[in-house]
Chain A
Amino acid sequence: MLTEAFMIRAFLVALFLCPLCALLGVFVTSRRMSFFGETIAHGAIGGVALGVALGFANPTPVVIVFSFAVAASLLWLKKNTELATDTVMALLLSGSISLGTILLSRLKGDFRGDIHRILFGDILAVGELDVAIAGGLFLLVSIFVFTRLSSLTLLSAQEDMAHVCGVNVSRLNLLFVLALTLTVAVSVRLVGILLVTPMLVIPAASARNVCRNLRQQIVLSLVIAAVSGIAGVAGSYHLVSPCGPAIVMTCVGMFLVTLACRPFLRRSIRS
């Protein structure tokens, strides 16, 4: 399995992106931003279709640009209309999916049949460019999160309090949205459009079952996501199945294990 170049690429991308999703996921869940991740991920179908229509062999750069456009539209509509955030997200989500589906249906050649791979991820689709982008993103976003961990945590606790503690709230919010958009857009290639949000949510939720503080939650989320990424890619290879479901099923398995451990841990804490 490790002698094949595409598998090494897939393992590397999984090792970069799954922990990254989990790291951001800790804050996404605490700030109730899961639907935001979902909107960006589903919006990526428009980016994939546009990339292919424009003749890109690897549509990831177009997906990134398209996802930024969706995120910017979301922020603009939130600021300049009276619409509820959920409404704006539903509008952009359905609009992007519809645009992507129409574009894909107009495409000639084999790509039209690849909708399954777009939705659920494909290890064969991971190219060298994807490894480079995922590696760079891993470095960039990890540095961003760990150097601003206190500010991000304060922001999750109470925005006004964060402001009084000297945090530039609007700038940090924008940077967090940028980091999340980039991570989701790049992760779509590996786990598929439908399964990016679980990668944000499940590792953090699994860790939440057994951890007693934020540091433990962050560390355990990273471990769960890395193990799920590796096991999922390997499982996908052996079962000849799409990559996203294999990764997410491993994550769900870990969630169930942590859920089962929960009563024992509680008992030991009490005693």
Chain B
Amino acid sequence: MKACCDHQEDLPSVAETVGLNLAFGGQPVLRDVSMKLPAEKVVALIGPNGSGKTTLLRCLLGLQEPDSGEVRLFGGVPLKKALHRIGYVPQKLELDRDFILSVREFLALRLKATRHWFWMGRRALDDRLMASMAEFGCEALMDRPIARLSGGQLQRVLIAFSLLKEPELLLLDEPTAGVDTPGEQSFYELIREVHDRHKMSVVLVSHDLSMVYKHAHHVYALNGSICCHGTPEEVMNAESLKEAYGIGVSPYHHHHHAH
């Protein structure tokens, strides 16, 4: 692994992987992947399709057991306890259109206080859930079936859901898949605002280089193994990206990035 810079090595980390190896059907997917997720930073995990980004995220969440190597969450807290401190936004829900779970009911699934939502009144639920929805300007969506939301609305609801327990680490897997371009822009701005307000660590799995350049503090470029990592400026040089993507790529240059 090439470290384009080493200044983040000294920062306290919320999660790290040490020498992860994983193969599916003899085909290696992750090769000796070691990374550290610094506390209170936005980290982007970039790489082409099939580069192992989602698999790495699944290893972090305990959804996938690596063949070898180790995942350490919050300095070695057992997975079950660590999950209480993690928020996760998947690419999409598997909801059938037949399933008319309302946004209010969906949010209620996250909290212990609203676990028995079936027997609770609407006002009692809203008392506990509305603040989170208001933060994302989604109060009007509470009665809508979640399977009928637009891509952008669904992403906001999923973020509100994952923040209900005030996690220390928020993992987002290709969060803008299914969202149109203007929606994408405002979504990344929202993530940045959420990060600034809640001061948690954020991991963004993305292939959108321009957004990463603008919004991440630190970038890991993955293509089976970690090709390089560092600040967006350091990683976004043609050589590093060429390694990650296996092709020549002209990096995007935005004038108003985070650093």
Residue B101 at the chain A interface, CB threshold 8 Å: yes
Determine if B100 and A154 form an interchain contact, defined as CB atoms under 8 angstroms apart. no
Residue B188 at the chain A interface, CB threshold 8 Å: no
Instruction: Kindly identify, within residues 191 to 222 of chain A, every residue whose CB is under 8 Å from any CB belonging to chain B.
Output: 204-205, 208, 211-215, 217-218
**How many angstroms between the C-alpha atoms of A218 and B99 in the bound complex?**
11
Q: Which residue of A lies closest to B92 (CB)?
A: A158
Of the listed stretches B27-35, B104-112, B235-243, chain A binds B104-112
Of the listed stretches A39-47, A57-65, A145-153, A231-239, chain B binds A145-153
Of the listed stretches B8-16, B58-66, B219-227, chain A binds B58-66
Determine if B94 and A157 form an interchain contact, defined as CB atoms under 8 angstroms apart. yes
Determine if B95 and A30 form an interchain contact, defined as CB atoms under 8 angstroms apart. yes
Instruction: Kindly identify, within residues 71 to 122 of chain B, every residue whose CB is under 8 Å from any CB belonging to chain A.
Output: 80, 83-84, 86-88, 90, 93-96, 98-102, 104-106, 108-110, 115-118
Q: Determine the chain B residues whose CB is within 8 A of the CB of A218 once the complex forms.
A: 118
Residue B67 at the chain A interface, CB threshold 8 Å: no
Provided the pairs A149-B118, A166-B80, A214-B105 are in contact, do residues A160 and B88 lie with their beta carbons within 8 angstroms? Answer: yes
Determine if A157 and B95 form an interchain contact, defined as CB atoms under 8 angstroms apart. yes
Q: Which residue of A lies closest to B84 (CB)?
A: A166
Determine if A212 and B101 form an interchain contact, defined as CB atoms under 8 angstroms apart. no
**How many angstroms between the C-alpha atoms of A160 and B83 in the bound complex?**
12
Determine if A166 and B98 form an interchain contact, defined as CB atoms under 8 angstroms apart. no
Determine if A159 and B94 form an interchain contact, defined as CB atoms under 8 angstroms apart. yes
Q: Which residue of A lies closest to B103 (CB)?
A: A213
Q: Determine the chain B residues whose CB is within 8 A of the CB of A154 once the complex forms.
A: 109
The proximity string for A residues 118-152 relative to B, scoring 1 for CB distances below 8 Å and 0 otherwise, is 00000000000000000000000000001001100
Q: Determine the chain A residues whose CB is within 8 A of the CB of B88 once the complex forms.
A: 160-161, 164
- CB contact between A153 and one of B84, B101, B104, B116 (< 8 Å): that residue: B101
**How many angstroms between the C-alpha atoms of A53 and B143 in the bound complex?**
55
Determine if B83 and A164 form an interchain contact, defined as CB atoms under 8 angstroms apart. yes
Q: Determine the chain B residues whose CB is within 8 A of the CB of A153 once the complex forms.
A: 101, 105, 109
**How many angstroms between the C-alpha atoms of A143 and B163 in the bound complex?**
30
Determine if B94 and A164 form an interchain contact, defined as CB atoms under 8 angstroms apart. no
Determine if B96 and A160 form an interchain contact, defined as CB atoms under 8 angstroms apart. no
Residue B145 at the chain A interface, CB threshold 8 Å: yes
Please give the distance in Å from A82's CB to the nearest CB on chain B.
10
Q: Determine the chain A residues whose CB is within 8 A of the CB of B99 once the complex forms.
A: 29-30, 156-157, 214
Please give the distance in Å from B182's CB to the nearest CB on chain A.
26
Q: Determine the chain B residues whose CB is within 8 A of the CB of A146 once the complex forms.
A: 118
Q: Which residue of A lies closest to B111 (CB)?
A: A150
Determine if B117 and A160 form an interchain contact, defined as CB atoms under 8 angstroms apart. no
Determine if B83 and A211 form an interchain contact, defined as CB atoms under 8 angstroms apart. no
**How many angstroms between the C-alpha atoms of A205 and B100 in the bound complex?**
11
Q: Determine the chain A residues whose CB is within 8 A of the CB of B101 once the complex forms.
A: 153, 156-157, 213-214
Q: Determine the chain A residues whose CB is within 8 A of the CB of B105 once the complex forms.
A: 153, 213-215
Provided the pairs A165-B109, A213-B101 are in contact, do residues A158 and B93 lie with their beta carbons within 8 angstroms? Answer: yes
Residue A116 at the chain B interface, CB threshold 8 Å: no
Provided the pairs A159-B94, A160-B58 are in contact, do residues A212 and B100 lie with their beta carbons within 8 angstroms? Answer: yes
Q: Determine the chain B residues whose CB is within 8 A of the CB of A165 once the complex forms.
A: 83, 109-110
Determine if B143 and A158 form an interchain contact, defined as CB atoms under 8 angstroms apart. no
Residue A79 at the chain B interface, CB threshold 8 Å: no
Q: Determine the chain B residues whose CB is within 8 A of the CB of A29 once the complex forms.
A: 96, 98-99
Determine if B145 and A213 form an interchain contact, defined as CB atoms under 8 angstroms apart. yes
Q: Which residue of B lies closest to A151 (CB)?
A: B109
Q: Determine the chain B residues whose CB is within 8 A of the CB of A156 once the complex forms.
A: 94-95, 99, 101
Interface centre among B83, B98, B106 (most CB of A within 10 A): B98
Please give the distance in Å from B2's CB to the nearest CB on chain A.
31
Q: Determine the chain B residues whose CB is within 8 A of the CB of A159 once the complex forms.
A: 94
**How many angstroms between the C-alpha atoms of A31 and B99 in the bound complex?**
9
- CB contact between B100 and one of A149, A150, A164, A211 (< 8 Å): that residue: A211
Q: Which residue of A lies closest to B62 (CB)?
A: A163
Chain B interface (Cβ within 8 Å of chain A)? Answer: 58, 61-63, 80, 83-84, 86-88, 90, 93-96, 98-102, 104-106, 108-110, 115-118, 143, 145-146
Interface pairs A-B: 9 shortest CB-CB: A30-B99, A213-B102, A164-B88, A150-B109, A214-B101, A150-B115, A158-B93, A30-B96, A29-B98
7 further contact pairs, Cβ within 8 A, besides A211-B100, A218-B118: A30-B95, A146-B118, A149-B118, A157-B146, A161-B90, A165-B110, A166-B84
- 5 A-B contact pairs sorted by A residue (CB < 8 Å): A30-B95, A150-B108, A158-B90, A160-B61, A164-B87
